[in-house]
Amino acid sequence: MINKNFLFAFCCLLFLLNCKEAIKTTFSDVTISTKNNDIVAINIPQAYGNETIITNINSEINKAVATALHIGEADSIPSISTEESIISFNKEYQSFKTNFPESTQIWEAQIDGEILHQSPEIICIAITTYINTGGAHGNLNISFLNFNSETGHLIPNENLFKNMDTFKKIAKTYFNETIKDNDYLFDSESFELPQNIAYNEDGIVLLYNTYEIAPYASGIIEFTIPFENISDILVFNGSY
């Protein structure tokens, strides 16, 4: 007969192992700044939990911040921390003031992040940035980051769906309905999916940033396709 104490200890060990494997990724909003910084404000989610998973997620969020604050060619964005990105942006502003002392332009940068959706299979985060370095208006941009909940790796848009062509056909009908009052600005025959596609609480949200498919006056275009209308072509389960 199996010793009862041994059986109890064995069950406890299995329980602890299962708990360790099931560590849930959680998020906390953090505000990041540096000494002598008064032009950059950053409030972003920071992941906690399994070390490998959260390292992947936090690294991609940091890359999004670095990209937003980078001044220069897009292909020369350095791999630096958020604090270093803030310092670099401030240095660029100081250089601008030195080179153009007569300018009264004050630079500013606001970066905010939010969790759009989180399930055991997928985590979706939106990063909203507003950068003003002069000109008629600042630049507002929203980026969606989709992560595999089990690995923390980014999920390309094409890997969100079992059949991308089918999804595109469905998305086009919702797009046409969204822009029907401004259809003169768009060529419905050349419809393309946006760069930003993600899960939210109600379904799959698609977002076109300003200038992505239309003039500045059209602003941001956003619409959501309910889960029940595309559940059969979704790769990831959005249920909590």
In the chain, the domains with their CATH numbers are: 25-155 (3.30.565.40), 158-240 (3.90.640.20)
User: Is pLDDT above 70 for 183?
Assistant: no
Mean pLDDT, to the nearest integer, of 26-32? 97
pLDDT attached to residue 135 = 73
Mean of pLDDT values over 145-171:
97
Give residue 213's pLDDT. Answer: 78
Confidence of residue 1 (pLDDT cuts 50, 70, 90): very low
Greater confidence, 50 or 181? Answer: 50
Residues 5-30 have a mean pLDDT of 64
Lowest-pLDDT range, 12-26, 32-46, 136-150? 12-26
Answer for the pair 77, 67: CB distance below 8 angstroms, yes or no: yes
What's the CA gap between 189 and 52, in Å, rounded?
44
Q: What pLDDT, on a 0 to 100 scale, did the predictor assign at position 162?
A: 96
| 237 vs 45 pLDDT, higher one | 45
In sequence order, the β-bridge partners of residue 123 are 118, 147
Least confident piece of the model among 70-84, 105-119, 224-238:
70-84
* Contact by Cβ (8 Å): 231, 215: no
What is the pLDDT averaged over residues 83-101?
A: 94
pLDDT given for residue 179 in this prediction: 84
Q: Output the pLDDT for position 17.
A: 47
pLDDT, position 3: 56
- Looking only at the bridges linking them, the beta strands covering 40-48 and 108-118 are parallel
Tell me the pTM.
0.85
- Predicted pLDDT of residue 20: 46
Q: Please, are residues 49 and 23 in contact by the beta-carbon 8 Å criterion? A: yes
Q: Is 9 a residue whose pLDDT tops 60?
A: no
Which pLDDT score, from 0 to 100, does residue 240 have? 62
111 and 43 Cβ atoms separated by less than 8 Å: yes
CA–CA dist 177, 155 (Å, integer): 28
Radius of gyration in angstroms for the set of CA atoms belonging to the chain, rounded to a whole number: 22
What's the pLDDT score for residue 27?
98
Average pLDDT over residues 151-172: 96
